[in-house]
Chains A and B, each alone.
Chain A
Amino acid sequence: MVTLKELTHRYDGLGPGHRLCAGCAASIVARQVLLASDKPVIAASATGCLEVGTTIYPYSAWKIPWIHNAFENAAATITGVETMYRALKKQGKYKEDVNFVAFGGDGGTYDIGIQALSGALERGHKFVYVCYDNEAYMNTGIQRSSATPFRASTTTCPAGEVIPGKPQHRKDLAAIIAAHHIPYVAQCSPHNWRDVVGKAEKAFATDGPAFLNILSPCHRGWRIPMVDSLEIARVAVDTCFWPLYEVVDGKLKITYKPKEKLPLIEWLKMQGRYSHILKPENEHLIEEFQTEVDSEWEKLLARDGTSL
C-alpha cells in the first residue's frame, strides 16, 4: 500500500478553497479516496454537502473533471460517463486510462439513490461508489435518514416529550450492497487514513463495481466540537458501532478488531444529539442500543473469514 510520503506527491483533486464546514469529515473522506487512485479520476457527486460546499458558481474546488446531476442519480450518472469512456475507447477515439468514482451522502445512497445504485451495481460497471455517511440529511438541516442511528435526535425525529429520538435502527447498507455480489465492498473510517486509502486502492483496482461505506462525522448534526470529527470516528469503531471490514469476492474479513471493545455509552456521551438518552429514565434505550450493536458485532464475528 502507498506510504504517507508517497501520498504527499499524489495529485490532490479537491481543494483548497471549498466551503465545507471547518471540521467536516466529508472533504477528508473525498481526498483520502481520490489520493488512493493511481490513475486520473473523474468524479460525480450526488446533491449534498460535498456538492454544494465545493462548487458555488463561478468557483469550483475540483481540480479533476467532476459532475453533479441530481440527488438520487450519482450512480446512474457516473456509469453513464464510464459507459461513454468504454464506447469511445472501443472506437479508438480515446486513449487515456481513467478511474471513476461517485460520492453520495447517506441520504443520496441509503435512501433516495439506492435504486440507481442497485441498478449500476447489477450492470457491473467498473466504478467506485463512496457513501460518506454522516447519518442524516445534513445539507438540508439534519433530518433523519435510514442511516440515522437508533434514538438520535434530528430535526424530523427530535427528542421530544413523548418520542425520544429516532425509533428505528439504521439500515445495514454494506450488507445490502454485498448482496449484489459485487467484487469489493468495504466499510471504513477516516480517523485511520491507512484504512480508507488502503481500501480505496483495492476499490480502484477492482475489475467491476466497488463500494466504500465511510463514516463521516458531522459536528453540526452530531452536536460535537468541530475538532472531534476524527476522534469520534475512532470511538465509533472502538465501540463496534462502526465495524471495519471488507467483503472481497463474497468473502467477509474484519479488518480491525478493537483490543478492548468500548461500551457504546462512550460514543453516545460525546454527542449532543444523544444528550436526552443520558437521562436516567432513558437508560433502557442505551441498553437496547448496546444489545443491537453487540448482536450485529457478534454476527459479523461469526461471518469473519467466511463466504457470504
Chain B
Amino acid sequence: MYVYDEHDRQIAKERVAQFRDQTERALAGELAEEEFLPLRLQNGLYVQRLAPMLRICVPYGMLRAEQLRRLARITRDYDKGYAHVTTRTNIQLNWPRIEDVPDILAELAEVEMHANQTSGNCIRNTTTDQFSGVQKDEIADPRPYCELIRQWSTFHPEFAFLPRKFKIAMNASENTDRAAIQVHDIGLQMLRNDQGELGFRVHAGGGLGRTPMVGPVIREFLPELDLLTYLEAIVRVYNRYGRRDNKFKARIKILVKALSPATFSEMVEAEWAHIKDSPTRLTHDEIRRIQGYFTEPAYEALSDVTDALSQQRFEHKEFDRWLTHNVHEHKKPGYAIVTLTLKRTGTPPGDVTDRQLEQIADLADEYSFGEARATHEQNVVLADVRQDRLFELWQSITPMGFATANLNTLTDMICCPGGDYCALANAKSIPVADAIQRRFDDLDYLYDLGPIDLNISGCMNACGHHHVGHIGVLGVDKKGAEFYQVSLGGSSQNDANIGKILGPSFAQDDMPDVIAKIIDVFVEKRTEEETFLDTYRRVGLDPFKERVYA
C-alpha cells in the first residue's frame, strides 16, 4: 500500500501543527463555535451527545499492522478501549477529549495516518472495493487511482467550503459493485474502451441522505489521464452552482436533477475544456509511480488446496459454514480472501476493542503480508491468506469473535452508531440491530434465507445506508418518541436502486416481529432459486405490507 515520502510526511506534520493552533485558539475563545465547527469537522472531530467523536481516515480502507497497533494504543490511552469501523471504511473514536485531539493526530501522523476531511463540506475519503487487487474479475487495481484522488483532494483550496459534503467511490470489478458507486456524489466505474484503453464511466449526483438518488451517467468514458481534471471540473461546477440557501437541498444530486443530467454534463464538459490539458492532467509516469506502491506481495507459487480442505470441512461443520460464507476466491491459486466479521450478537456492528485491533494486526502479520482492510459493511478483510492455513486461522479467530459465519446474511447488518452516540440521530440503532440478531440466531436458517442486506440508520443522514438495504430501517422521531420506518427493495449493487417505504413506522420493541413477518412472506413466496431481492422484485411491496400491517 501507499507509503509516505518526505512531502507527504511534511504535509502531515504541518497539518498537526495547524490543528493544534486552531484548537488552542478555539479553547481560548478566539474562535466562535460556528467558526471552529467547519475546522474541526474537516479534521473528523464532532461534538456528540456524550463526548466528542473523532473519525480517523482510513484511505480506501487499507491498514498496515503497525497502524492497527497504534489505533489500539490510542483507543486505550485516549478513549475507552474500543473503536468503530464506519460505512466509509474509517475508524471512529467515541470518547476522546477535545484538548487531546492534537496529540492523537500527532500519534497518527507517526504511522502515516490522519483525520483529514473525514467530515465537513469538502471532498471525503474515497472508497472502493475491499477485494481490490486480489479478485479475479478486476479491470485494474483501483487503489492507485484512489490514492491519486486522495492527494489531489487533500486541502484542495478551492473546495474546502463546498455547499455540502462530497463523496467519491470507485469500482473496478466487471460483475459486482462492493463500493456502491451509484449512490455517491461521484461514482467511477473503471472500464476499457474498444481500443483497450483504461478509463472510467462517470456517474454524478447519486447519494443517500434526505433525498436518495441513483447517480446518472454523465460521461460514458473518461480516459485515465483525465481523471483529476474532470473531477476538478465537476466539483467546480458544483461549488459555483450548488444550492447554499437550504442545507437539505445542497448536495450535488439536487443540482444534477434540477439542471437535468444532460445539462449538468454539458456544463462540466464546458468547464473541463478549459482545464483538460493543464498540468493537473495525469501522466503515465505518475500513475506507474503510484501503482508501484500497490504491487503484488511476495506470493508463493501454490496450487489450490482441495482435498485437505474437504476433509476439514467434513470434520468440522462450523469450519465448513465459515469457509462457505466468510471466505472468498482469490486471483492466485492457493490463496483466499478472508473476511473477519465484526457482527457478533451482543456487540454493536462494527465495534472493535483495543485488544481486537491488536489481534487483527497480529493476524495480518501472520497470515496476510501485514495488511488488513476495513469494509463499508463494517467488517475487516485479510486479503491474502494461504488456503493451507485457513483451518488454523479459523481456529485462532473463533475465540476472538471474528468468525461469526454470517457474512452477507440478515444479521451481517450495516448499522450507524445511532442515538446511543450520535447527536444527529433521531433514534437508537444499535439496540434494534441487537434485537434482530437475537431473534435470528439460527445460522442454518440464515443461510437458507440467502443474501439479505439489512441496513439501519438512526436518522435520514443515512450513515447506515438504509435506502439501499434490501431491508432498510430508518429511525424517526415521532412527537419525541423513537420510531422506525421500514423500506424494502433497495440495492447498492450494479442494479442500484432506492428502497420503497413499507408504510407507517413501528415502535422499537416491535421491530424483530416486523422483520420476522417480512422474512415469512419471502419464505412463502419465493421460488427455489430466488434471493430476497428477486422475490421482492417479482411480487412487489403489497404482500409484505398486508402481512406486516394485518
Chains A and B form a bound pair = no
